[in-house]
Amino acid sequence: MPAKCSSDTLPTDPSMSPSEPAPTHRPAPLHARGALAGIDATHRLAALIATCLTPGFRLYLSGDLGMGKTTLVRELLRALGHRGRVASPTYTLIEPYNLSRFDLHHYDFYRLTHPSAWRDAGFEDAFDSQTVVVVEWPEHAGDGFPAPDLRLWISADPGEAEDARRLSATAFSKRGQACLTALHDAGSCATVLLPDWGYEAR
């Protein structure tokens, strides 16, 4: 089943609450929401996102345990040509991949001991480089964490099948917007322009 989409209200996320109004030079974040009817829809979404990634792209994934963040990353890596095992970085915090087009770092900050521990661990360099970074649980990294290009929230879809998920996405940069627009054009999600949510410009 393809992903169904609509474009109504935003998800509630305290770490993403509105702050100052956006400077005029900053692209307004673009938001989309939709439904993933099952795991195949998650796999298709991952394959589409893989086509958007360019060196330095930051993709952040939020959602409760078991919602499919790591599953999406596994499929993303497969679509990017990785053929080996994809271990969850739940305990290691990072799993690095040397892909043909770029290096990709997969982080999981669920077990981050304090908000700046990602910096103490020396991860900061990858966030200002040609490395693609994919981060599960970015909210655990606190306020000083760099802005993403694209952030996804995956949640359960009550009343639907057990493997159905709700998807919300917000783009914070031009290339994030281009990716979200590509998802829209592929029939994955409706998009709607929204006011800035306080992330720094890139």
In the complex, least distance from residue 64 CB atom to ligand ADP, rounded to whole angstroms: 7
In the complex, least distance from residue 89 CB atom to ligand ADP, rounded to whole angstroms: 10
Alpha helices in the chain (DSSP H): 39-52, 69-79, 117-120, 174-185
Q: Does 138 bind ligand ADP (CB under 6 A)?
A: no
In the complex, least distance from residue 67 CB atom to Mg ion, rounded to whole angstroms: 8
Q: Does 155 bind ligand ADP (CB under 6 A)?
A: no
x/- contact string, 72-111, with ligand ADP (CB under 6 A)? ----------------------------------------
Q: How far apart are CA 139 and CA 149, in angstroms?
A: 15
Number of residues that bind ligand ADP (CB under 6 A): 15
Q: How many CB atoms lie within 10 A of CB 112?
A: 20
Q: How far apart are CA 60 and CA 64, in angstroms?
A: 13
Q: How many CB atoms lie within 10 A of CB 4?
A: 16
Q: Does 42 bind Mg ion (CB under 5 A)?
A: no
